[in-house]
Amino acid sequence: MQSKERSTATATPPRKSAVESHLVKEWPEAAEPQRPPTGGATGRTLPASLLTPPAPPPLPHLEDYREIIGQGQVDALRFLARDLKGKTIKMVNSTSVGGGVAEMLNRLVPLLSELEVSTHWDVITGGNDFFEVTKAFHNALHGASYDLTDAARKIFLMYNEQNRERMQFGEEMVVIHDPQPLALVNSREAGRGHWVWRCHIDLSNPDPNVWDFLRPFVERYDAAIFSSQSFARRLPIPQYLFYPCIDPLSEKNKDLDDSTVQRICDELGIDRKRPIVTQVSRFDRLKDPVGVVQAYKLAKKYVDCQLVLAGGGAKDDPEGAMVLQEVREAAGSDPDIIILDLPPWCALEINAIQRASTLIIQKSIREGFGLTVTEALWKQKPTIAGAVGGIPNQIIHRLTGVLVHSIEGCAFQIRYLLTHPEFAKSIGVSGREHVKENFLITTNVRRWLLLFRILEQAKAKS
Ligand code: UDP
């Protein structure tokens, strides 16, 4: 089942274009939800309309971004793409749904293709054993201690080899995302194509054994890309900084009228008349949803609020169900805690939940970049987030949000922001400006085009 879910497939969008055919977009089969479709510490059931994926909305075109970033920026992208026309890119990662990487690729791939830099997205397949190992690697690279066994190494290499055998790498630029498909670089042929490793995780303090195992693969790439200056390692290859990004026109981030927000809140049983504090994220220990429940309970002694924990499981994360259970236990029978285990296609619902929120929290203990923070800031929401990973790139303390280091700190900030609405509003406004300048998909497209041109130029010179 799992490997079937992860195999490369193309969705059937209502409007098929050359651009869309490059998209890999697969949902788990609607008839087999991963977990019972109930939400809420109070046992609320998700509306039936959420149990099947909606038809994908039409994809925005480059011109549609003009209203947000201006004509000059759109023209600059076309100019940068001119010399790359007809060239091809392959992006490879380990899940097509859930998590920030899939989120970004879903938008980046069609935009690059629209610029006639034809971009294909492949997803590697693997069994539970592979994803257990790669999840452990992920945690270990984020600094957790881990006993790297020969069996784990073998599983990692075996699935990489299986994927390598079934995949072709004829593109001019191959981009491998994160450690899961790292060993596909074994397919690299001398003198052909640029191979780039796009690392989305924080490598500043990795478990040495896991890093020593992976590093020789990384060193065989032409370049490595990190999401924050602080994530990089000392490597013999060039390193680039690419901030992750959101698409302001996606279902997740587009403007919504208030009646849509209200309808969705009604469907989900969220009461907009009282303050709403929300964390949207996968049910993952590193996102600390249990810590959020504890912080809410501390703050609740002083201020009235409800807590919404909305999340789901990325397909490459076997721990999700366990963490969800821990969250339910921590929540107990508090009727003001609403836990929503959302299917992965609920982008519009997440948008509405974020817009309905009074405050947004992302109390991560470790983080890659934290796209949920970007999404919250874009919606001008006062945001409280753990000072980890790429979050401090987004949250300048007390200017574009507030950073916290503990459950008590988080509780204090919930209370402070709920009782200082003018200040809360001002950080929300600055947060949106910060995202507009730095973390939109159009900035990301520009970075990919520049990198591709730099690599082409270096090859021509050599
Ligand atoms: N997300 C989602 N459904 C969920 C939980 C998260 O669509 O149930 C989205 C969230 O809105 C964000 C991304 O998944 O766009 C998570 O990215 P982030 O960088 O915050 O964390 P990651 O999961 O990649 O560690």
pTM of the full structure = 0.86
- Verify whether ligand 1 is closer than 6 Å to residue 280 (CB atom): yes
Residue 190 confidence (pLDDT): 85
Centre of ligand 1 to C-alpha 247, Å, is 13
Distance from the alpha carbon of residue 99 to the mean position of ligand 1, in angstroms = 4
My answer on whether 318 and 400 are in the same domain is yes
How far, in Å, from the CA of 21 to the mean position of ligand 1? Answer: 24
pLDDT at 99: 78
* pLDDT in the model for residue 293: 98
Q: Is the CB of 369 under 6 A from ligand 1?
A: yes
Confirm whether 428 is domain-assigned.
yes
Same domain (yes/no): 231, 268:
no
pLDDT score for 371:
93
* Residue 103 in contact with ligand 1 by CB distance below 6 A: yes
> Ligand 1 pocket, 350 CB below 6 A?
yes
Query: Which amino acid residue places its CA nearest to atom 8 of ligand 1?
Result: 311
Residues 418, 454 within the same domain: no
User: Domain of 231?
Assistant: 9-27+84-245+440-461
| Residue 396 and residue 419 in one domain | yes
Give the model's pLDDT for residue 100: 83
- The verdict on 278 and 367 lying in the same domain is yes
Instruction: Give the domain CATH number at 281.
Output: 3.40.50.2000
Whether 124 is covered by a domain: the verdict is: yes
Is 32 domain-assigned? no
Q: 198: CA distance to ligand 1 center in Å?
A: 18
State whether the beta carbon of 100 lies less than 6 angstroms from ligand 1.
yes
Q: How far apart are the CA of 26 and the centre of ligand 1, in A? A: 16
Residue 450 maps to a domain: yes
pLDDT computed for residue 146 by the predictor: 95
Residues 391, 284, single domain; the answer is yes
d(Cα 447, Cα 173) in Å, to the nearest integer?
14
Cβ of 368 less than 6 Å from ligand 1: yes
- Spatial separation of the C-alpha atoms in residues 126 and 143, rounded to whole Å: 24
Residue 297 placed within a domain: yes
Task: Give yes or no: residues 345 and 399 share one domain.
Answer: yes
312 lines ligand 1 (CB under 6 A): yes
* The pLDDT value given to residue 38: 43
In order along its 462 residues, the chain shows pLDDT tens digits of: 233 333 333 322 333 333 333 344 444 444 343 443 344 454 467 888 888 999 988 999 999 999 999 999 999 999 999 999 999 999 999 999 877 899 899 999 999 999 999 999 999 999 999 999 999 999 999 899 999 999 999 999 999 999 999 999 999 999 999 999 999 999 999 889 999 999 999 899 999 999 999 999 999 999 999 999 999 999 999 999 999 999 999 999 999 999 999 999 999 999 999 999 999 999 999 999 999 999 999 999 999 999 999 998 655 677 888 999 999 999 999 999 999 999 989 999 999 999 999 999 999 998 889 999 999 999 999 999 999 999 999 999 999 999 999 999 999 999 999 999 999 999 999 999 999 999 999 999 999 999 999 999 998 888
Query: Does ligand 1 come within 6 angstroms of the Cβ of 372?
Result: yes
Query: Hey, whose CA ends up nearest to atom 6 of ligand 1?
Result: 281
The answer to whether residues 211 and 234 belong to one domain is yes
- Map tokens 């490459």 to a residue: 316
CA of 316 to the centre of ligand 1 (A): 13
Judge if 241 and 131 occupy the same domain.
Answer: yes
Best residue among 95, 97, 246, 282 to mutate for probing ligand 1, ranked by most atoms within 8 Å of CB:
282
Q: What is the pLDDT of residue 438?
A: 95
Q: Using a 6 Å cutoff on CB, does residue 320 contact ligand 1?
A: no
- Do residues 425 and 352 share a domain? yes
**Dist. CA 287–CA 447, nearest whole Å:** 28
Residues 149 and 241 in one domain: yes
159 and 225 fall within a common domain:
yes
How many structural domains is the chain composed of? 2
Residue 239 is assigned to a structural domain of this protein: yes
65 domain-assigned:
no
Residue 298, in any domain of the structure? yes
